[in-house]
Every structure is written in C-alpha cells, then in structure tokens.
Amino acid sequence: MKDITEKEFDKIRAHVKELFGINLGDEKRSLVYSRLRGVLQEQGLTDFSEYYKYLKNDKTGKATTVFIDKITTNHTFFMRESDHFDIFRDKALPFIKEEYGKQKDLRLWCAACSSGEESYTLQMIVQDFFKNDPGWNIEMLATDISTTVLDKAVHGVYSNESVSTLPKDWQQKYFKPHETGTSIVVDSVKNKITYRKFNLMEDKFPFKKKFQIIFCRNVMIYFDAETRDTLVSKFYDLTEPGGYLFIGHSESLNHTGTKFKYISPATYRKEK
C-alpha cells in the first residue's frame, strides 16, 4: 500500500472540513493513512486518489459513515471533567426546578455523546435530583456523527472497570450485571434518552423547542475559529434564557463574539 501523498491528504482533509467542520492538521497525515489503509484494502483500492473518488461518488452514505468512524477519536469515560456535573447538579438543575416548576419541563441536549457515558451520567443525576418531585417531563437528546459509538450508547453495556468509577449507589440502582465482566444500564435510565445521528455542521438545526442545558464537550477543539463561532451562535439561539452551555476544559469561547456569559471554566450561561 502506497503512502498517502501530500496532495491526496489535502483533498481528504478538505472533504472532512466541508462535511464535518473538522480540521486535520499536517501532523494528522500519518494517522489518516494508518486508520484508512485497511478500508482501501477491503475495497480493492490501490491508492488514496482512488479512495477520494470513492468517497465523493458514494451515494449510499456508507463510505462516509465508515470514513468518519475511522478518523474521529471517541475517547471518553464516566465522570470525565466531573466539576461540570457538580455545576449541573448544584446550579443548573435548581434553576430549572425554580424556573420551570409549574411546567415541569426539562430539555437537555448532549451534543456529542460519543459512546454514552456522558448522557447516562447526566440522566442519573437528573433522576436522583427529581426523585422526590414526580411528574417532570424530562427530554434528553443525545447525538453524535459516529454510528459506531451511537450503537454502543444505545446498548448501554460497559466494562465493570469503567462502571466502578461511579458512586456505589449508582452502580446498584442504575446498572445490572450483563455478560462476563460487563454491566448494562437499566431500562428506566436508557428509555429516557433519545439517541440520534446528527452532524453539527448542518445548516439548520431541526429542533422545535429550545433546550435549558446543552453539553458539547471536547468537540470544538477540532474546529477553526469561524466554524466554532457559528456553532456557538446556533447553540445560543437554541438555549432558553438562563440556560447553560458546557464545553470541554481544553476549549474556550470567543468572549467578544459570543452572547453567552462566562460562569466558570468551560461553563457559560444565556442571561435571562
């Protein structure tokens, strides 16, 4: 298998940028080669020029699905950047309970849910918080561009080692033993989350209602400033007044270009 040339890499990274907003720097050239060479071999393609044509001519979407699954990094774990979950529990949810107590309506969007650890953590916090206040309509949407990680999220099966990082009472209430060495999320948690494939680069977001909480963590590090600002503006328009936006600790917003108010590291709020 021939190595990927600079010209071939430029074409492929332009394709990624156009479809998904992801910037692949020069240092990612060897990563692209190593992750995609097996795909070329499976398809009987001799070089990355042929692969680029194969991608561009794909009408089914299958080739693009495999492509994005291969080049994106989906590294996550339960309670990642745990201070966000503290703010969610101690600040955001009390605000929602006070502000929307009559409607009893809570809408959350986990906008890059990966394999589900984040969305399930949020749902467990929500269920603990509202356990003595029944009747709430709680809608959580969890989206990602990778079908591979979404499939894992939908199934909700995790190694016992990864689950062991969670509080003991959560392990007992919200998980049950599965196959050897694994646990599965209970249906009372799983059934409260809607998982969907969604590309954050869509021109229009098809949501009829706004959200009080949006989590979009460790995604925008792959975007350039213009792409990031455009996405944050869409998030702002989709956030209810007083609502929260959580981003990754390695990310930041353009303070002069966003209407969100800075609350604490990687936590922002839409003023009422």
Can 228 be counted among the known catalytic residues?
Answer: no
Mean pLDDT of 25-38: 88
**110-134 pLDDT, tens digit each:** 999 999 999 999 999 999 999 999 8
Instruction: Scan for tokens 């989206």, then name that residue.
Output: 143
- Annotated catalytic residue within 35, 47, 105, 128: 35
**47-104 pLDDT, tens digit each:** 999 999 999 888 887 888 888 888 776 667 687 778 899 999 999 999 999 999 899 9
Q: What is the secondary structure of 62-77 as a DSSP string?
A: HHHHHHHHHHS-----
> What CA–CA distance (Å, rounded) separates 72 from 152?
15
What are the tokens at 269?
């709020």
**157-173 pLDDT, tens digit each:** 999 999 998 999 999 99
Q: Do domains 6-71 and 83-269 have the same CATH topology?
A: no
Can 144 be counted among the known catalytic residues?
Answer: yes
The alpha helices in 93-191, defined as continuous H runs, are 93-99, 117-129, 147-155, 160-163, 168-174, 187-190
Q: Where do the domains of the chain lie?
A: 6-71, 83-269
Task: Please state which CATH class domain 6-71 belongs to.
Answer: mainly alpha
- CATH code reported for the domain at 83-269: 3.40.50.150
CB 88 within 8 A of CB 119: no
- Annotated catalytic residue within 13, 80, 144, 228: 144
CB 96 within 8 A of CB 130: no
